[in-house]
Structure 1
Amino acid sequence: MLGSVYRAELPNGKILAVKKLDKRVSDHQEDDEFLELVNNIDRLRHANIVELIGYCVEHGQRLLIYEYCSNGSMYEALHSDDEFKTTLSWNARIRIALGAARALEYLHEQCQPPVIHRNFKSANILLDEDLSVRVSDCGLAPLITKGSVRQLSGQLLAAYGYGAPEFESGIYTYQSDVYSFGVVMLELLTGRQSYDRKRPRGEQFLVRWAITQLHDIDALSRMVDPSLNGAYPAKSLSNFADIISRCVQVSYSVFLVRRIWIP
C-alpha cells in the first residue's frame, strides 16, 4: 500500500530490505516531514520490531532501508503453496502471536509518545531464521493519513478484513490495532486468509465467519488449521480463542494488548 519492498545485497554480502515509497505518498510529504518521520522510526528499538538501517531522499526517490528477515512474512508462511507452512506447529504459532503482541505493547505503552501502527496485518509480521517476529511498517501511520492514501487505507483494511468497525467512520485508535491483532490470531488459528473471495459467501470475511463459533468447542475444533493435524492442547486452543474474541468483538473493551495476554 505504501510502496514496494526490494531485496538488496551489499558488496560485503549483507542482505537488506529496501522499501521504495509510492509516489502517492511522497507527493504529499515535504522533505522535512520525511526526515522527521525517519527520526521517529529510528527511535523505535525493540526485539520484535524491524530495525531501520538507513534512508535515501535523492533523485526524487524516498527509500527506507531495513534489516532483512530471511523467512518472509507470516502471511507467506500461512498462505503460500510451498511446504514452509508445515513447519508452523502450534507452539510456533503461539510464539508468533506473542512476538506480535509484545511489539504492539511496546508501541502502545512504552513509546513516548505512543505509536499507533494503523496497518497491522500478517503481511507486516516478518519472520527471521528462527521464526522470531519482526513487525514492519511501524511508525509509518503519518504516511497513511496523507491525502488519497488515507482513503485508500480505509478501503483496503476493510476489504482485506483487518479493519475494525469504527474504521469505516474514519476513526482509528489503539483499540483498532488490537482488533487487527485479533484478526492475525484468527489467521494463525484457522490457516485462513482474513478475506478470501474464493470461499462461500458466508465464509469470505474471516472475522464474520469465526466470531460466533469461538465459544463452541465443537465448532472451534473444526475451525483449526487442518495442517496442524490435531497437534495442539485443547486448553491452549480455548485460551487462544478467548483472546481472539476479546480483540474482535464489536463493542470490545480491551484497550491494551498487555491486559489480554502478555505475562
Structure 2
Amino acid sequence: MATTYPTADQWKSLVEEFSPEAIAYKLLLSHVPYVFRDEPLKFALFRKTIADAFQVEPSNVFIVGSAMAGRSLKGKSISKEYSSKSDIDTLIVSEHLFTNYVMKSLAWIKECTAPDFKTKPHPTSPSISPAQTKFIYWLADSAHKGIWRPDSLPPEADARNEFFDKFSAVSLKTLGLQLSEDTVAKVNGRVARSFEDAVRDLTSSLSRLRKEFRNEPVEPVGEPTDDTSAGANNVS
C-alpha cells in the first residue's frame, strides 16, 4: 500500500495482501493520480475546473481507471501502462447530478418504449431493437449501483449529449493546464450518487482483478463501448 504506483507484479501482491475495499479507499482518498504524478498543482486545478462546470466541490471530483493507477486494472492487460493515448476517466460524486441525469435518461427510455394508445382494444407495445435493449440494460445496471454513465445511452439521447457537450467545453479550459506532453490525452466522465457508491464501484473492479490473477471464474463484463468516440473529448 505504501507504493504509490505499483508495477504489474506489485499489483498481484497488493490485491492478495489487502482487501479490495481498503485499496479503493486509498486510491480515491490519498492518491495523486498517475497522470498528474509530477504535477499535483495541476491536479488541483483540473478538479476545480470540472467542479466549477458541474457546480460541485473540487473534493467531489476524482480520476479513476488507468490514469489513476498508471496502468490498466484488468488482469490480462495489467502490463499495459498509461500513455497519452489513454483516456482520463473522471468521476464526479454528486447525488444531485446523479438524480438529474438518471431522470433525463428516462426521457429516452420513455421515447423508445411508448405504446401506441390508439390501437384497439389494447395499446400496442413497440418493437424494441437489440441495440435499444442493450442500452436500457447498461443504463439500469449502472444506475442501480449508483453510477450514471453517459455511454450507457445511445448517441441520440439528449442526456448523453448534454453531458458530453458540457465536458467538451470543460476540456477546452483544461488546455491551459497541459504543459507536459503526456499529461492529458482525452477526458471522459461519469457520475456517482455518493462516495460510498464510488468506492463500491472501484472495489468491484479490484475484486474482479484479484479473481483474474487467481485464474478464478469471473462473470462476463458487458460494459458500454463508445464506438463513435462521442464520450472522449480531445484536450491535447
Task: Normalising by structure 2, report the TM-score.
Answer: 0.29
State the structure with more CA Rg. Answer: 2
Q: Which has the higher contact order (CA 8 A, sep 6+)?
A: 2
